Structure 1
Amino acid sequence: MLIQNLFEPYEIEYMELNECPVGIHKNTYFELVYILKGSGVHHVGENQFNYSKGTLFLLLPQHAHSFDVRELTTFLFIRFNDTYLKAQQVKDVHSMMSNWIQKMEYILQCNYHLPGCILHNANDKPLIGGLMDALIGELVNQHEYYREVIQQLVNTVLTIVARNIWMINAGKATPRNDHAAAMIRYIHEQIYSPDQLKAEKIAAHFNISPGYIHEYFRKHLGESLQQYIAGYKMKLVENRLLYSKMRVSEIVQELGFTDESHLNRFFKKHTGLSPTAFRKTKRALPLSPTNADTNLTQ
């Protein structure tokens, strides 16, 4: 199967097609596909989804997919990788962008979200439409500072996508409990600060008795607090091993493990493999262009 790679942090492509130029294929990067006009069918694995104007697809690394164009279609492709996301992080704690990476983890870790149009919030559809039109305008006109404007527009699109993924999954886990959904959001935001994920800290934050926090979490989420935190952290570690060039020592530092031995024990308990063995056997990201099967060109 064809595998397409991205050798820059991000790439935007705007094209009109009456047929898909490639058959079923996989990417080693994240891709947003927006339909400006036209109709057809998007094949993702064994699933099929009709598309039309305003549809937005989020494709995760290693999703096997293709498009069957039924009516002349104008596509806007936004391709990005972990390197792009990391480059957006702002260290100023007073900036609203300081925890942007943590929020974007919704995209990186929610690879269980259902394929299909990612826009489940009706109010976001016209907002995304306007942003995509603005992106195209900047690409075509290329006025002064157009690259900086494009980057800000892309970040806004990604943030809206993350919001929709959050709404889908929070609603799935806690259909009638906003308090439990807020608890999940707190865990996601504090995953890099292990001290803040202690039961007594979470209980104090949500004004719940420390003795009741475990029962409350299991009642509303269907698993224990420790299971949820461990599962979420595992997903983050796997994503870094598969889709980034981060060293194990860097993952240890970022996610608050004591040392590499601690991470090895944690990871092996859940997968039966060490992080290094997991990366060698399941890596999806080529380390250099010489390992690439094919490169996507504009």
Structure 2
Amino acid sequence: MTRENLYESYAINFATLDVCPKPEHKHTFFELVYIRSGNGRQCINNSHFNYKPGHLFLLSPDDCHSFDIESTTDFFFLQFNDIYLKTGGLGTDNIRRLEYILQNANHRPGCILRNIVDKSLVNPMIEAIFREYSNRDVYNQELIHQLVNTLIIVVARNIAKSLPDQVTVNTDEKTVDILQYIQQHIYYPEKLKTENIGHIFGVSNAYLGRYFKKHTHETMQGYITKYKIKLIEHRLKFSDKRINEIAEEFGFTDISHLNKFFKKQKGKNLSAYRESVRLK
């Protein structure tokens, strides 16, 4: 599988496509994709979502993705990396939290615009970028830069609205690091053991649980369980993965082990849940 790099802090591209030019691939950077017109399907981490005009997607580093184009589609692509977040004038105080919020969209298919007001804001913003990008008028780079900053902040706001309450402007930096570590290693149960996390972040095993709850208002095991369940729900709803493949992906010993875990949280076994969500 190809893995693309970005050799500048950010890059913009507008494209009209009938066929996706790339098979499934990964990036080392963030990418915003806005659908200006057209229809098709987005594939991200083996999950699928039908796209239409007005949908905005955020692809995080290491997301495996592609587009299956059904009708000619006008795309807007904005690629940016950590360098841009740190040097783009976004404000140093909240850069780490912004990075965490953007990373937290990982593995989630579908349009990231949750705020109805922002849906009407994003389209004219992207069309303004298109005009400046096409006309190359005086101060166009400065205007594009400001519009890109605003777009990224709007995206972060929409992702934050779908997060639990762990991240606020006052969240302790180490807590943000622990939350991000959990998300990055959610597929590896051994790496999520208390003694391993405590060793990595320099917190004693005895204190780690109290420390985590103090800053997030929930237990660490509770957070791990909720996050894992959320990802499994997405697999069942948006992917064609078999149950045994999902069990293997998340480090369960077998289907029975996964079923027991899932039913305890959701009250249904995996097959019944998948059937119920696909009937909606």
TM bucket, shorter chain: 0.5 to 0.7
**Percent identity between the aligned chains?**
39
3-state SS in 2 of match to 1:169: coil
Contact preservation (8 Å) 2:44, 2:107: no
CA deviation string 1:40-60 (max 9, x = no partner): 001112200000000000001
Matched with 1:253 is: none
1:89–1:193: structure 2 CA closer, same or farther, 3 Å change rule?
farther
User: Any unmatched runs of 5+ in structure 2?
Assistant: 177-209, 225-280
Distance 1:68 1:79 in 2: 20
Distance 1:113 1:127 in 2: 25
Residue 21 (str. 1) matches residue 3 (str. 2): no
Distance 2:173 2:84 in 1: 21
Contact preservation (8 Å) 2:97, 2:169: no
Distance 2:147 2:7 in 1: 21
- Tell me which of 138, 148, 153 is aligned to 2:132: 138
Distance 1:30 1:13 in 2: 14
Distance 1:33 1:193 in 2: 30
Letter of the 1:117 counterpart: C
- Tell me which of 112, 118, 122 is aligned to 2:112: 118
Letter of the 1:25 counterpart: H
Distance 1:108 1:81 in 2: 11
- Tell me which of 148, 154, 161 is aligned to 1:154: 148
Matched with 1:46 is: 46
Contact preservation (8 Å) 1:89, 1:99: no
Letter of the 1:36 counterpart: R
Contact preservation (8 Å) 1:113, 1:165: no
Matched with 2:219 is: 223
3-state SS in 1 of match to 2:79: strand
Contact preservation (8 Å) 2:40, 2:52: yes
3-state SS in 2 of match to 1:114: coil
3-state SS in 2 of match to 1:125: helix
Could you say which structure has the greater relative contact order, defined with CA pairs below 8 angstroms and 6 or more residues apart?
A: 1
So what's the TM-score if we normalise by structure 1?
A: 0.57
- Tell me which of 160, 163, 174 is aligned to 1:166: 160
Greater than 6 Å deviation, 4+ residue runs: none
Distance 1:19 1:118 in 2: 23
Letter of the 1:191 counterpart: E
Contact preservation (8 Å) 1:20, 1:67: yes
Residue 191 (str. 1) matches residue 187 (str. 2): no
Distance 2:211 2:61 in 1: 36
Matched with 1:84 is: 84
1:100–1:134: structure 2 CA closer, same or farther, 3 Å change rule?
farther
CA deviation string 1:77-100 (max 9, x = no partner): 00001111111247xxxxxx3534
Alignment of 1:177-188 (within 5 A): 181=165, 184-188=167-171
CA deviation string 1:16-74 (max 9, x = no partner): 00110111111111100000000000111220000000000000111111101001000
- How many matched pairs? 190
Matched with 1:58 is: 58
Distance 2:82 2:156 in 1: 15
User: Any unmatched runs of 5+ in structure 1?
Assistant: 91-96, 171-180, 195-213, 229-298
TM-align CA RMSD: 3.0
Contact preservation (8 Å) 2:94, 2:169: no
Contact preservation (8 Å) 2:212, 2:218: no
Residue 5 (str. 1) matches residue 30 (str. 2): no
Letter of the 2:13 counterpart: E
Distance 2:16 2:145 in 1: 23
1:37–1:12: structure 2 CA closer, same or farther, 3 Å change rule?
same
Letter of the 1:223 counterpart: T
